[in-house]
Each structure stands twice: as structure tokens, then as C-alpha cells.
């Protein structure tokens, strides 16, 4: 690097940052490292919390839809209901892990942050596996189960690449500076680039998996009833789902 300052174009993405210089190289950060520096850390963590609550709402609605459509399942109804319950727990754990990850930025307590990120990734993949299995029992459209299976396989490969290349990068990259300040000339930088790229791909695949829920959501109508009971009544608010 010459002593003369270089002009840089900084593009701030909601979840990460790419820096491009006139020397032609780019710094690719892990998705969760986008909130590693202040003040962007506050914005990044707020967006993660919003994402976590949004995911939890979708996960719960998906649970209700699958439960409401259980009458259409003629084979293995016990497995169907069991998978739906397990998926709700796994999805809730993933959402909670996102909140933990937001509460502990990568520069605060790195071990907690990385553990929460890993837990969120694993729980989301297990959640997708459950609903891919459910869709094979429920969906009358063979394209949806195949698409979800492809997403699950691709996500699993991406998770393995994140772990393997991340470990290889940590083995080769030895420096006392903040791990998020990696430079292309650092040893192990290429491994970190592959690992970080895989993380971005994994998040995109999870988002795509949630989009596939639209097919079942269109078949259901949500009715929310709220009644204020009198002194002689003990009725409570309830939610029902009917086919559209």
C-alpha cells in the first residue's frame, strides 16, 4: 500500500460491508460482522431483532396453517403432528438465537455471538428439514417439496463450508488485530472469503425457504376472534383457521 491515501468507495449494506479500492481488491465480511463497529452496530442489532420477531411470527403462523391442514393428511398423521411441533420449537430457538446474537455484537463477547450465530444456523436448517418432510406428506404440488429439498441440501452444504473454511482461516490467520479487520494480504484471507460468502448464501436460502410458505398460506384464511366475557362467562380469545 502506498503512503498516499487511496480514494475508496464504501457501500454500506444492511447486513455487511464491501470495501472496494482502486487496487482492485474487495473486503468481504461475514454477515454478522456488519455490526462489529459503532455506530452501525446499533442499527445492525436493531435490524436483527426486527428480523427475529418477524421470523417468529411467520414460524407461528406456519405452525397454525400446518395444524389446520392436518385433516388432509391421510398417511402418517402422528409423524405429521410431531414434526410440526418439533419445527415450532426449533424455529423459536433460532429466533431466540438471533436476539442473543444481536445483544452481543461480535466485538463485545465474541464467543457468545458466534455460538448464537451457529445455533441459529443449525436450528434453521433443522427447521427446514422438518417442514420439507411435512410438505412431502401435505403438499399436492410435487414441485414445492422438491424445491424445499434442494434448499435444505444447499443450506447444509453452505453450513459445512462456513465451518470448514472458517476453521482453516483461523488456523492460517494469526494477528493481534480485530478479526473483522482482515486484509487480502493476510494469511488465510481466501479461506475467510469462502466462509463469509457461504454465510451470505445460507441466509439467502433461508429467506427463499420462507417464501415457499406462500403456497400454503394462500390456501388458508386466518380468523382472529376477541370476546370480552361477562362475569358468568370464561371464554378466552381464540384463533381459527379455515381453508380459503
pLDDT class of 15 with cuts at 50, 70, 90? very low
**Distance linking the first and last C-alpha atoms of the chain:** 63
Q: Is the dihedral of CA 209, 94, 223, 142 positive or negative?
A: positive
**Residue indicated by cell numbers 381459527:** 240
pLDDT tens digits for 26-36?
Answer: 444 555 555 55
pLDDT class of 179 with cuts at 50, 70, 90? low
Cell digits of residue 195: 466462509
Name the phi and psi angles at 80, rounded to 5.
-60, -50
pLDDT at 85 exceeding the cut of 80: yes
Q: At what angle are helices 189-211 and 110-138 packed, to 10 degrees?
A: 40
pLDDT class of 79 with cuts at 50, 70, 90? confident
Mean pLDDT within 98-124:
85
Confidence (pLDDT) at 172: 77
Closest CA relative to residue 103, chosen from 29, 42, 53 = 42
Contacts of 5 (CB under 8 A, 6+ apart): none
Residue 48, Cβ density class (10 Å: 0-12 exposed, 13-18 middle, ≥19 buried): buried
Which pTM was predicted?
Answer: 0.75
Confidence (pLDDT) at 26: 43
pLDDT tens digits for 181-195?
Answer: 666 666 777 888 888
Contacts of 7 (CB under 8 A, 6+ apart): 21, 22
pLDDT at 127 exceeding the cut of 70: yes
Q: Which residue has the higher pLDDT, 31 or 15?
A: 31
Burial code (b: 16+ CB inside 10 Å, e: under 16) for 117-153 equals bbbbbebbbbbbbbbbbbbebbbeeeebbebbbebbe
pLDDT at 86 exceeding the cut of 80: yes
Q: Which residue has the higher pLDDT, 230 or 206?
A: 206
pLDDT tens digits for 33-68?
Answer: 555 566 777 778 888 899 999 999 999 999 988 888
Three-state DSSP state, 112 = helix
Amino acid at each position: 500500500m502506498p503512503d498516499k491515501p487511496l480514494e475508496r468507495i464504501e457501500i454500506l449494506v444492511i447486513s455487511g460491508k464491501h470495501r472496494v479500492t482502486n487496487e482492485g481488491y474487495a473486503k468481504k465480511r461475514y454477515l454478522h460482522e456488519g455490526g462489529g463497529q459503532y455506530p452501525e452496530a446499533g442499527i445492525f442489532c436493531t435490524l436483527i431483532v426486527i428480523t427475529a420477531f418477524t421470523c417468529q411470527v411467520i414460524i407461528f403462523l406456519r405452525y397454525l396453517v400446518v395444524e389446520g391442514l392436518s385433516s388432509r393428511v391421510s398417511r402418517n398423521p402422528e409423524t405429521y403432528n410431531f414434526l410440526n411441533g418439533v419445527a415450532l420449537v426449533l424455529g423459536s430457538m433460532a429466533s431466540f438465537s438471533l436476539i442473543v446474537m444481536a445483544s452481543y455484537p461480535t466485538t463485545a463477547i465474541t464467543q457468545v455471538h458466534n455460538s448464537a450465530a451457529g445455533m441459529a444456523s443449525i436450528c434453521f436448517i433443522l427447521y427446514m428439514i422438518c417442514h420439507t418432510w411435512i410438505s412431502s406428506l401435505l403438499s399436492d404440488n410435487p414441485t414445492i417439496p422438491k424445491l424445499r429439498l434442494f434448499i435444505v441440501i444447499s443450506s447444509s452444504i453452505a453450513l459445512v463450508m462456513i465451518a470448514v473454511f472458517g476453521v482453516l482461516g483461523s488456523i492460517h490467520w494469526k494477528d493481534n488485530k480485530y478479526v473483522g479487520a482482515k486484509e487480502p494480504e493476510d494469511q488465510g484471507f481466501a479461506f475467510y472469503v469462502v466462509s463469509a460468502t457461504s454465510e451470505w448464501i445460507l441466509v439467502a436460502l433461508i429467506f427463499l425457504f420462507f417464501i415457499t410458505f406462500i403456497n400454503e398460506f394462500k390456501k388458508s384464511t386466518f380468523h382472529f376472534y376477541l370476546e370480552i366475557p361477562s362475569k358468568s362467562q370464561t371464554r378466552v380469545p381464540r384463533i381459527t383457521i379455515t381453508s380459503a
